[in-house]
């Protein structure tokens, strides 16, 4: 894939849609295209986060370890970003991300990702929007589960 093709792919991702073409070229040049096979892990819960991944094609399962075994908590598809929490918060990976199909990603190292959010406030705002949407969905799910438990124990 040429750098121009890479720029077009990046432009289609909401996280980077508002960046100038020159900035997209720089991002494409400084990021690594990584392909994962079905079942392969992008990252594992508990590991140190060294990069975030933007999904270009395919889908992945987000799973967390529980006392009862693995629990799938979400699925992500094209244009999603995963792995950013560990590098933004300097905490171990909060979940395992596993490819559900062949997965084409753009790997953005921690240093590059942090400089992107510093250099381009619009990227930081979009990351906050994505995280806020995830938090809202999680809060809604927790509220629903709590309500179901109260009704059951009622």
> How confident is the model over 90-102, as a mean pLDDT?
93
User: For all residues of the chain together, what is the average pLDDT?
Assistant: 88
CATH number of 3-153, picked from 2.60.120.10, 3.90.1330.10, 3.90.1170.40, 3.60.15.10:
2.60.120.10
How many whole angstroms separate alpha carbon 125 and alpha carbon 122?
5
Q: What is the Cα Rg of the chain in Å? A: 17
Q: Is beta strand 51-57 parallel, antiparallel or unpaired with respect to 103-109? A: antiparallel
Pick from 88, 83, 116: which is nearest to 10 by CA? 116
Query: Which DSSP state fits 16?
Result: G
Which three-class secondary structure state does DSSP give residue 84?
A: helix
- DSSP conformation class of 63: E
pLDDT for residue 3 is more than 80: no
Provide φ and ψ at 110, rounded to 5°. -55, -50
Element (H, E) at 129: helix 121-153
- In this prediction the pTM is 0.81
- Across 9-13, 102-106, 149-153, the highest mean pLDDT is recorded for 102-106
pLDDT of residue 24: 84
Which tens digits make up the pLDDT trace of 22-47? 888 888 888 888 999 999 999 999 99
Q: What is the pLDDT of residue 1?
A: 67
pLDDT band at 104 (very low <50, low <70, confident <90, very high): very high
Span 45-95, pLDDT tens digits: 999 999 999 898 999 999 999 999 999 999 999 888 898 888 888 889 999
Query: Do residues 39 and 103 lie in contact, with contact meaning Cβ atoms separated by under 8 Å?
Result: no
Amino acid 119: pLDDT:
85
* CA atoms 86, 121, 105, 63: torsion sign: positive
């Amino acid at each position: 894939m040429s750098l121009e093709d890479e720029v077009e792919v990046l432009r289609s991702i909401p996280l980077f849609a508002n960046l100038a073409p020159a900035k997209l070229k720089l991002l494409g040049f400084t990021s690594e295209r990584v392909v994962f096979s079905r079942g392969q892990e992008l990252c594992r819960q508990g590991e140190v986060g060294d990069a975030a991944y933007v999904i270009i094609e395919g889908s992945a399962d987000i799973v967390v370890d529980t006392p009862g075994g693995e629990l799938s908590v979400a699925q992500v598809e094209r244009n999603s970003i995963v792995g950013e929490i560990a590098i933004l918060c300097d905490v171990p990976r909060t979940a395992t991300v596993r490819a559900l199909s062949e997965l084409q990603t753009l790997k953005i190292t921690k240093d590059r990702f942090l400089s992107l959010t510093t250099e381009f406030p619009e990227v930081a705002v979009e990351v906050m929007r994505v995280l806020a949407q995830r938090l809202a969905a999680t809060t809604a799910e927790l509220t629903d589960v709590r309500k179901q438990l109260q009704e059951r124990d009622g």
